[in-house]
Structure 1
Amino acid sequence: MRALRYVVLAGLLGAAVGVHADPVTYKLDPGHTNVLFTWNHFGYSNPTANLGISEGTLVFDEKNPAKSSVEVTLPLSNLDTHVTKLDEHLKKADFFDAEKFPTVTFKSTKVEAAGNGKFKVTGDLTVHGVTKPVVLDATLNKVGPHPMMKVQAIGFDATTTIKRSDFGVAMYVPNVSDEIKIHITTEAAVPSAK
C-alpha cells in the first residue's frame, strides 16, 4: 500500500511539473486576422475598414503573462474599406500618407493578466510616423492543438480606442470623428518545423 502511495505521489508531482509551460512563440496568421477600425462620418454613419497584417509574432506565457509579448506590422497597402475611392483617399497625404509611411506597427511593452482570460496589453503604436502608447483590452479565445493545422494554436480578440489627431491624422476633425474604435481578432500558430 505504501508503494502505491509513492507511485501516486510521484505521478502527481510529475503532472504538476509538466503543467508548468515555458513561453510559446506563435506566428500570427494574416488569413485569420482582422484589424478593424471604425469612425463616425458627419454623424450619419459609422464606416469600418480592415487593415489586416503582413506579419506578426506573439509570445504567450500562460503561467506568467508578464513574459508575453506581441509585435505586428500592418501594411497600408492592405487597407480595405470596400470602397475603392475611399481606400485611395485614406492613403493620400491628408490622411495616412502611405507613400511616406507605408506601415502601421504595434510592439507591446507590457502584458498584465486581468482575470478570466482577459489581459491588458500596453504597447507602442506607430501611425503616420508618430509613436504613442496604447492599451489593448485582450481576451484569450482559445489555446490548444489546431484540428486543421495539427500544431499548437492560439486566438485572441482585442479592442482599444485612439484619437487619430494624436498621430497627426486630423483632417476633417470633428466632423469626421477624432475617436477611432479598433477591434482586432487573430489566430496564430506555432511555426511547423521544415
Structure 2
Amino acid sequence: MRALRYLALAGLLATAGIAVAAPATYQLDPTHTMVLFSWNHFGFSNPSADLNNVQGTLVYDEKDPSKSSVDVTLPLSGLDTFVPKLDEHLKSADFLDATKYPNITFKSTKVSAAGKGKLKVTGDLTVHGVTKPVTLDVTVNKVGDHPMLKVPAVGFDATATLKRSDFGVGAYVPNVSDEIKVRITTEGHAEKK
C-alpha cells in the first residue's frame, strides 16, 4: 500500500512541472488594423473604403486553433473612403444607415486549421441589423514577442467575399456591384503584466 502511495505521489510530482499551453488573449490594435472593402461602380471604377477604430479581442491557440475565437466591433464612425461626400452617402439610409445601426460586428463560431499557417474562421457578421454566417480565409503572419512593446503579439491577414444585399444593403444593384471584397490585416497584443 505504501509503495502505491509513493508511486502516485511520484506521478503527481512528475506531471506538476509540465505546462499545458493555453490559448492566449490579445486585444486588437486599431492603429495596425485595416478592414478594407471594395466594390465595382457601374463598371467604371473599383472604389474602396476602410473601417478603422476597430475594437476587439482575439483568443488564439497556436497548437489547437479550434480553441481560438474572435469578437470584433467596427464602428461606422470610422468608415473612410477618403472622399467625405461618399462617406456620408455610405453612412446614409441608402446604404449602411449608420444612425440606426452604428456598428458592424463579427463574432466567430468556429475556427479550424486549413493548412500550414492558414485558418478558416466562420462567424456571425452583423451589418445593417442583419446577421449572417461568413467564413474568412485567414493567413497567420506571425506569432511572437513584439520587439517594441515587449509583449506577446500575433498578426493575421484575412479575405472574404460578401453579397451586400444579403444584409439588406442592396441599393443600386447590379449597377453598383452586389459583391463586396473584404481584405483585413490586423495585429493583436497581449496586455502588459
Does the Cα contact within 8 Å between 2:33 and 2:54 map onto a contact in 1? no
Deviation at 1:115, TM superposition (A): 1.1
Q: What is the root-mean-square deviation of aligned Cα atoms in Å?
A: 1.5
Which SS does the other structure have where 2:77 is aligned?
helix
Counterpart Cα distance in 1 of 2:161 and 2:44: 20
Percent same amino acid at aligned positions? 70
Structure 2 counterpart of 1:62:
62
- Give structure 2 stretches of 5+ with no counterpart: 1-13
Deviations 1:143-190 (A, max 9, x none): 000000000000000000000000000000000000000000000000
1:29-68 matches, cutoff 5 A: 29-68=29-68
Structure 1 counterpart of 2:185:
185
- Paired residue type of 1:74: L
Structure 2 counterpart of 1:10:
none
Counterpart Cα distance in 1 of 2:55 and 2:76: 13
Structure 1 counterpart of 2:84:
84
Runs of 4+ in 1 over 3 A off after TM superposition: none
Deviations 1:120-152 (A, max 9, x none): 000000000000000000000000000000000
TM-score (norm 2): 0.90
- Give structure 1 stretches of 5+ with no counterpart: 1-12
Structure 2 counterpart of 1:142:
142
Counterpart Cα distance in 2 of 1:159 and 1:60: 18
1:12-31 matches, cutoff 5 A: 17=18, 20-31=20-31
- Paired residue type of 1:178: D
Deviations 1:55-95 (A, max 9, x none): 10000011111100000000000000000000000000010
